[in-house]
Every structure is written in structure tokens, then in C-alpha cells.
Chains A and B, each alone.
Chain A
Amino acid sequence: MFLESPPPRPEPAPDPLPLAIRAAALGIIAAALLVVLLFRLWALQVLHAGQYSAAAVQSQVRTSVVPARRGDIVDRHGDVLVSSRTAIAVQVNSATFPAGTNCNGLNRHDRKVVIDRPGCLVLWRLANVIKQPFPQVWKAYSSRLSANQGYPITLPFTVTRPQVAFMLERHNRFPAIQFQRTFVRDYPALDNPALGAINPNLIGHVGAITADNLTDPAFRGENLPRTGTAGQTGIEKSYDGWLRGSDGETAQMFDASGQPVRSPYLVREPVTGSTVHLTLDGHLQKVAQDAIGRGIQIALNDRQYFADSGAVVAMNPDTGAIYAMASYPTYKPTVWVPPYAGNGRVTDPNNKLTPQVDKAYAGSYPPGSTFKPITAVAAWMSGLIGPGSTRACTTSFQSPNDFSHHTFNNWGPVNAVIGLSKALEISCDTFFYRLGDQFYDRYQAGSNVFQQWIRKLGYGAAPTVDVPGAVSGVVPDQHWKAHYPPFVNGPNPSIDTLWEPGDDIQMAIGQGYLLASPLQQAVAYSALENGGTIVTPHVVQSITGSDGSLAPGGNVAPKPQRDLHLPVSLLDEIKTGLYGATHAGDGTSTSTFGSFRPTVYGKTGTAEVPTVQCPDCSDAWWAGWAEQNGRPLVVVAMIHNGGHGGVSAAPVAAEVFADFFHTRYQFQGGQDQSR
């Protein structure tokens, strides 16, 4: 009944007024709803336009780095020592590389295992193409993965264009492998015979940024990126902020499935790094480097069979600008750039010659007799000696302070009372033993005045040179001895840690526990030459933008450290002594410098460094200066286990002077009259 269909008949007409009102009401409802929609659209698209889309669009664009060209390093004449060339680096995109890949312990013969691990298979194929050992490729990737998860990881291998083409043609066999144009260091000077020597430790090298770099205070203020390269040693490191320029950026839009769409566009141009101008003279550096080799040869000919390394420092004594700083053995800086030829030998921890330790500023040795002028300064300034003072130069000496009555011998058979300059001329040990003994008296009276003056001359603290790694050497005193672990933990600590007369006595002739680097010696001798100012040694003189104009803050002219106010009488007496040492009949390097032009003033040193294999070994030293036409030069040369300073070290220094002052010099071994 409810649902019966009644017979169709015309039904009453709909009541017009209420119908119209109801229709109107429906219309109003409709209008209201649409207006609400419009308001919301207005808010979304006009008032807060882009608010919801900004984050979305941003996540759809990925940026990648356009590496900047690193700045050049040029010598003082503008010759380019270090430059850059373009190369292609291979990257693994860790965002799309199979996660959880582990190829530990696999080598290139484990193909059957590798096949089952997709990630390892890709790396294995890559290793084959770029001709690198598979374990190394795996290690290169895995060691960088944790710091760079989700980003392309640049491997330290460059690839050739044919290799790139090969892999791109088979890109489905090399998923997640991509390539980036990059720069590697280039050393044009090596091919130039006039320049072809670069001190690789001093110049330094560029390497992939490591986790240690990110926390290294040397890079503070630089905001290192997580990927990329940075200078790891030498000038490349200390001037990394200037050299690296700033990377550019390109952006690429991706669609929802991760495919790149449209072409990448440049967001920011890369800025080439600044050019670093060194104080070094490229040609003088080569002369110095070769001279050490020849000095070692002389030592070997002199039956010093353990001569194996050495160093030269050539410095402007008035400004501290270093013109040459060479270390032997050396190596080509190309060991740090692909294809890394020779890298293994250089970085081998079993390499006893430690080529990465620069002997000029990162190695320290007992200075021997070259230290005597420093003892003289200390003695004069603490009032032990003065103008006209003399001491007995006997064949031996025993200290009244010394309960063991040890006999300290002179090297030569002189027996006379002499003044300071003569003592320097003939390098009389016992003269200086007596001064050392007097310093011991001072110690007993509570004063470490000897060490104080030694330190004022720059020993015992790393010189403030603008490359990392300079060592401080050792200026021993009672405190040092009391805390020196081999003494403290040795069999007789109570005796071994005592400061004894022999310690001051030995130190007076540059032996004992005293250690110094050739650079420190150069700074001290510069003070003797320039009237008593301790200069700040530096290897960089200015920094320019890539357009050649001086960069802001780019004028490197470090001020001297301190003025010692040494009296002219002292300096004159020392100078007289050093003149005698190079010109007098009994001078210790007369054979080398007697007729040398310009006039050279300097001191030899033969520092005993006995070892079990070589109980008679000595380090050969020569330190001094010359000056011509207002241009002075300090040179320090050292041959480790080189024997007598006058025989093997003096000629090395002479060669450097000759090139600097453009005088002729015939390289030959010095005569054995030196100490």
C-alpha cells in the first residue's frame, strides 16, 4: 500500500511563492559555499602565494657543486710553481647506490662472490675500467660513505675520456656512477730545468677533505664543505682559504620518480682562488736542492758512509723572507696527483729517510759548533764576558762543579789564552766549556740565564713561519730533564733527572740534549747579521686575486718578533770571529770561502750524533751570511751524518751564495780543518 503507484493524474501546481523562496534559499546556500571556496583560494594564491609550494619546489630541485679552480702558487719572480689542470673525477652517487653494500676482504679474483652483491659488482667493474685495485676502490668508497651518506661521493681517481665514454655507453652496468669535472694540481716548473725543484713538503699537497680536517683549527673560519679537497700540508694548507676560491652551484629539477627534467642551470659561478706569491726564488731553490745532493756525495767520498739527508735554508736576514728552503731526500709533488706514481714509497711508514719530514724546518739536530756564537751572546748579555775578555783555550777542561771530574776535550791541540773572536775563528771548545761552566754556577745560584738567552734567539720554540709543521727543537733545562720520560722511567731516575755541569758545558758547544732546526739557526744568525732583531720567517709575500690585483689583506709582511738590543761591540766581535773562520789560515771554512766574493762570514759545525751502527757519525753544519749591494743573505746548510761541516756543508752554502750573488764558484769538497 505504501508503495502502490497511484493512477497518474495531474498534480496540483507547485505553490509558487514558497517554491521561489526555497529555490532562492538553495541559491543562497550555493553562493555562500562558492564564496567560501573563493576566500580560501584567495588566501592560498594571493595572500600567501607560494607558501605551500616553496618547500615542495625546493625539495624537487637538487643542487650540485661546480668546483672552483684553485689559485696558483708562484715564486718571487712570478714563475708558476703550482697550477691546476682539469681532470674528470669519478663519483659514486650514494643516494642511488645499493645500500648496505659490503665488499670487505674481496679482491678482483672473487668474481663469483661479487656477482651476488650488486653494489660490489658495480665497484668491481669500475675498478677494472679505471685500472685500480678493486679493494682500493671499495676502500675509497666505504671510507667516505659515513660522512657523505645520500650525496655523490668523489673517489680519488681520475678517469680518461675513453673510460668515461665506455661507462656511459653501458650505464646500466654502472648504475650510480657519475662523473664530475674537477681540477688537479699541476707542476709546470718541474719540466723547466732552470726551476725544476719544488720542495713538496713546503709547497704541500691537496687531498680529499677528511673528518680530521673538519675539526682542525688550521681551517677555522674557512667553512670547509664536507666533500671536496683541501690543502693537507705545507703552503697548500696554511693558505688554503685563499687558494681554494669558492665553488659554484648548479641546480637540476627532478620529477616525482627521481628523473632529471629540463637542463641544469647555473645558480652561482665558481670563483677561482687567489694567487699566492712566494718569497722563494725558484731557481735558487733548485740550486740549493742540487747542492745538498752534491754535499752528500762529498761526505760519502769523505768516508762518511751514513750521510743520507740534509737541508738548506737561505733567508733575507732583514725581512725574514725565505728565498730557498730545501730538504733532502725530496720527491716530486706529482705523487699526490693522479696517477700517484711513487706515492707508495713516499708514504711508506717503513721508509727510514722519512721524505715527508722536511729536514729544514720539521727536523731538529744538535747544532754543534755553529751554536758557539749563540753561547757568546748569552755569555756577553749575562755579563760573563765583555769587550776584551779572554779565556784559556786548553786541550781539555774539567769543571770544578763536576763531582765526576769528567774531562771535556778540545778537538784541536791549541793551548793559549784567547779572546772571543779568536775562539770563534778556531772554534775552540774549551773556551766555551768554561763559559758553560760559569752558566752552571748561575744555575746553582738559581738563574737559568743561559737558556733564557738561547730562547730569546728563537731556539726551543717553533718559529712562527707560515707553513705548518715547524718544530721547536729542544732547549734543555732542569725542568726538561726532570720530566723527560726516558730519564723518569729509566733505571736511575734520581740521578738521570738531575741538571749537571756537563749539561751546560755540552750545551755551550751546541751538543748535549740541545736540538735545533736549520730554520731556527737561520733566524738566530739573521739576528747576528741585522743587529739583534729576531725576524719572522715567512715563505709568502703577497696574495693577489686571479686578475692580478692585490687581494684585501694580501700583503704579507710580518713584523719582527722582538729586538734583542745586542750591543754593537758584541756583534762586531762575533763578526770578526766569523770573518776569521772563513778567511784566516786557521779558519774552519777558509778553504771554501777564503777567496769567495762577496765576503762571507760564517761558522762551521760538526755535531756528534753517535748511533749504535755509527759511533763516530756527526752532522755537518755551516751557518753564516754575506752581503752585496745592499742585498744580504743568510744561509744555513746541514748534512746529516755528513762528517765535518767545513768539508761537506760549507761547499753547499757556497753554491747557494754563488748563485744568489752571481759569482763564480767551483764546487769542491772543503779541506778537513773544520769543527
Chain B
Amino acid sequence: MIRHYVKHLDYLMLATVLSISAFGLWIMKNATRNDPGDLYGHQLVYVSVGVVGMLVVAAIPPAWMRRAHWPLYGFVLVTVAVVLAAGTSVNGAARWITFAGFQFQPSEFSKLLLIVGLAALLASRRGITSPGRLTLLSLAYVGLPAILVFREPDFGTALVLAAMLMGMLFVYGAPWRHFVWMLLAGAITLALIFSILPGAGIHVLQTYQADRLTAFLHPEKLDPQQNGYNLQASLAAVSHGGVGGTGVKNATQTLFGYLPEHATDFVFAVVGEERGFVGAAWLIALYALLLWRGLKVITKSRSTFGSLVAAGVVSMLLFQITINIGMTIGLAPITGIPLPFMSFGGSHTLTNLLAIGVLQSIHVHAMTADEPRMATQLALA
């Protein structure tokens, strides 16, 4: 068993994840040298625990996860509801539960658990429930926790859940029409939220939230005191890096406090400043490599469940990477989505590493004999 496990781990994926995590730790160490507290030390612990957890989860057969998916779903709903009811607030957002001295974010874990749950749901009803009903079912399954998360308020995670859903449905093979309907519904919702309802006096989003989201559309008009400051500072830091970066010592935007959230949301701007285009492109290349390995798992997996889980993980990672990096360079709204394996934070670091662990589990068990033999897969490139 163990030999089989060791033989069939995707070592390229493992190496890529470890590289990104190590790079993230290195950046964190330098960027937070002037900050109070020991962010680097904490992150080191989170990454270490996460790596161990990843390797452990990689050994868990996917079938076990699949069997537990309803209890896991219940766990998600309960914890997210608890956050809403009695959560600890940070920066005006109640997203955390404090338990036994630790703070953890249920919304982060919910992402992984919902991937597993939805994959199980879709896999088990394939050919049984009609595609239309299945799509609706998926919407409800993800939508319920998503709305709870949105009310925390954690708009970013709600969006990630939506992206996961889309990715999984797409790989599952939902008909094109469904996507058209869903995108239409999404556009109407956006219009409702941003223009129509406010016009009627109903504000779904607070003004500051709406401003934050739309700030990236007009960076020049920004008052440094208000919402646009983060974006301006981020652009300044990235631009400061130039081709080769300023190096750690001259990273004035990061070191002297001009770049807010430089350990969390805007850690990519630190990469941009310290390592320049070369460093930033290198990181993106690493992410691309990781995503490719994830995509390979989709096709390598012998079960629908496995493929769907992989699709969900890939979608989740892709969405987070794209939105976070895009946010730092002015292409995406500011939504508080962390950069996987780079941003500071225990809950999401753990979640993302465990998600890789799940990918590895599927990869490992795609080769086992005790899964029903399936037709040969066409591997990607």
C-alpha cells in the first residue's frame, strides 16, 4: 500500500506546490520584516502542518471522502451559520470562529468540502436525474452555503464557490444552454445589485463594498484616502519593480508601509516589487504548471467523482489566482481573495494544501486496481 502510494504520487505537482510555498515563505519573511508580530513564523507553521496534512489526505482513498460527503455538507452549513450568528469580526467582517484559542475561517474549508460534496452528488446522479434538474440541484447545493457566506460578508469566497460550480458543471458536461442561462442570471444579478436596486433605494451591498469592487475600473479618479488607495499602492509597488525587481532592500513601497495588506491580499505586489517582471512571470509559470498537473488528473481519474473533484480544485485555484493577481494589477475588482500558497493565513493555506492532497489522492488511486476498471482515458498533452 505504502509503496504503491509512494510510487504513484504526482511528484511534479508536489514539487511545484512545495516550490510555490517555499517562495511564498521567502517573500513573506522579507516583506514582513518591519511588521509587528511574527507573521513569517506563523505562516511557517501553517505551511508545515498543511504539507503534512496534504500527504496524509493523499493517502485517503477518494471513496472514503465520497461516503462522508453528506456529513461534511452538514458541517459546512453549521459552521457557516455559526459564523453568521456568533463570529469574530476582523476589519469589519465576521468570518472567523474562535475555538480553543485558534481562529479558523469556515468559509475557506467550505470550498474544499463543497467540491467533494458536489462531485459526489453529480457523480452519483449521473444518468439518473435529468441534466436540467441536476443543474438546479447543484445551484441549490452550492447556493445555500454561498448565500450564507455572502452575508458574512465574504463576497470573494462566494464568487469562488460560483466559479467552482461553473467549472465542475462544465467538466461534468452540463449542456451549453445551462451556462447561457446561468451567465444571464449572473449578469442580471449584477445589474440588480449595482444599479437597479440601489436606484430603488435597496442596497444589497454597502456603498463601500460597491466602491471597492468598481474601483479598478477607474484608477485615475481615486482619492488616496479612500478605496482606491490599495490599488494605487499596489500599482506603484508592482511598477516600481521594473524588469528585475528592486531587491529586498530597495522595496520601499513594501518595507515602509506604503503597500497595505502586503502579507495577505497584495502579496503578489510584493513579488512584483522585489522580484520584478522576471519573478512575477516565474511565479505565474509555476502556477500554470500546477494547474496543468491538476488538469491531467481530470483526465487520468478513473471515476466521474475523481474528475469532478479535480475540476473543482482546478477551477477554485484558477479563479483565486486570476482574481488575486488581477486585483493587484488593476484588472479585477478588489475582493479579498488570497493568493494560494502565498498569502498569509492559516485557514486558506491549509485548505489549498489539503485540496492538493485530494488531487494527489485521486491521482494515486487512479492507478489502483480496486477501482472498477474503466475504459482507457485519453491523457492531456
Residues in A lying within 8 Å of B, measured CB to CB: 2-3, 5-6, 8, 10-20, 22-27, 29-31, 33-34, 36-38, 40-42, 44-46, 48-53, 55-57, 60, 253-257, 261
Contacts and interface: CB of A to CB of B under 8 A. Distances in A.
Contact of B167 (A26, A34, A261): A26
Given A5-B70, A44-B239, A23 B331 contact: no
A167 B213 CA distance: 50
Nearest to B287: A34
A55 B237 CA distance: 11
A11 B315 contact: no
A12 B127 CA distance: 9
Contacts of A38: 281, 284
Given A45-B272, A50-B240, A52-B238, A26 B311 contact: yes
A475 B67 CA distance: 119
Contacts of A27: 291-292, 295, 380
A340 B14 CA distance: 79
A55 B236 CA distance: 8
Interface in B305-333: 307, 311, 314-315, 318, 321-322, 325-326, 329-331
A215 to B, nearest CB: 35
Contacts of B238: 41, 44-45, 52
Contact of A11 (B123, B240, B375): B123
A45 B236 contact: no
A34 B320 CA distance: 12
Contacts of B302: 13
Given A14-B304, A34-B321, 10 more contacts: A6-B125, A16-B375, A22-B171, A23-B298, A27-B295, A30-B288, A30-B291, A41-B280, A53-B239, A261-B255
Given A13-B374, A20-B377, A20-B380, A44 B235 contact: yes
A17 B377 CA distance: 8
B318 A30 contact: yes
Nearest to B126: A11
A251 to B, nearest CB: 13
Given A8-B124, A12-B126, A22-B173, A56 B236 contact: yes
B277 interface: yes
Interface in B159-204: 167, 170-171, 173
A25 B179 CA distance: 15
Contact of B133 (A2, A11, A31): A2
A50 B272 CA distance: 12
B242 A50 contact: yes
Given A27-B292, A41-B329, A45-B277, A56 B253 contact: yes
B233 interface: yes
Q: In the complex, which of the residues B126, B128, B232, B291 has the most CB atoms of chain A within 10 Å of its own CB atom?
A: B291
Nearest to A56: B236
A22 B304 CA distance: 13
A34 B284 CA distance: 7
Nearest to B257: A256
B343 interface: no
A36 B329 CA distance: 11
B277 A24 contact: no
16 contacts: A6-B124, A14-B303, A14-B304, A14-B307, A15-B173, A20-B379, A23-B171, A26-B295, A26-B311, A37-B284, A37-B326, A41-B280, A41-B281, A44-B329, A45-B277, A256-B256
A36 B315 CA distance: 17
9 closest cross-chain pairs (CB), A and B = A256-B257, A255-B256, A53-B240, A56-B236, A13-B374, A52-B239, A45-B277, A52-B235, A49-B242
A20 B281 contact: no
A45 B241 contact: yes
Contact of B171 (A26, A46, A57): A26
B376 A16 contact: yes
A257 to B, nearest CB: 6
Interface in B4-43: 34
B218 to A, nearest CB: 15
A19 B379 CA distance: 10
Contacts of A37: 284, 322, 325-326, 329, 331
Contacts of B70: 5
A22 B287 CA distance: 20
Contacts of B301: 14
A261 B295 contact: no
A146 B307 CA distance: 72
A672 to B, nearest CB: 84
Interface string B56-86: 0000000000010010000000000000000
Nearest to B238: A44
A47 to B, nearest CB: 10
Nearest to A255: B256
A257 B303 CA distance: 56
Contact of B329 (A40, A60, A253): A40
A56 B125 contact: no
B100 interface: no
A14 to B, nearest CB: 5
Contact of A41 (B167, B240, B253, B277): B277
A255 B258 contact: yes
Q: In the complex, which of the residues A11, A22, A254, A255 has the most CB atoms of chain B within 10 Å of its own CB atom?
A: A11
B318 to A, nearest CB: 5
B378 interface: yes
Contacts of A50: 239-240, 242
A10 to B, nearest CB: 5
A18 B173 contact: yes
Q: In the complex, which of the residues B252, B325, B330, B374 has the most CB atoms of chain A within 10 Å of its own CB atom?
A: B252
A306 B261 CA distance: 82
Interface in B366-381: 372, 374-380
A25 B172 CA distance: 13
A23 B293 CA distance: 11
B236 A52 contact: yes
Contacts of A36: 331
Contacts of A13: 302-304, 372, 374-375
B243 interface: yes
B168 to A, nearest CB: 10
B276 interface: yes
B351 interface: no
Contacts of A256: 256-258
Interface in B333-381: 372, 374-380
A46 B277 contact: yes
Contacts of A52: 232, 235-236, 238-240
A8 B125 CA distance: 10
A20 B299 contact: yes
Contacts of A11: 123-124, 126-127, 303-304
Given A6-B125, A52-B235, A255-B257, A57 B288 contact: no
A8 B253 CA distance: 56
Nearest to B296: A23
B137 interface: yes
Contacts of A14: 301, 303-304, 307, 374
A253 B256 contact: yes
Given A5-B70, A17-B378, A18-B173, A48 B239 contact: yes
Contacts of B331: 36-37, 40
A394 B124 CA distance: 145
Nearest to A8: B124
A45 B243 contact: yes
A252 to B, nearest CB: 12
A26 B67 CA distance: 28
A30 B318 CA distance: 7
Contacts of B67: 8
A19 B299 contact: yes
B329 A257 contact: no
Contacts of B237: 53
Contact of B298 (A19, A29, A42, A44): A19
B313 to A, nearest CB: 12
A621 B302 CA distance: 124
A144 B91 CA distance: 43
A45 B277 CA distance: 6
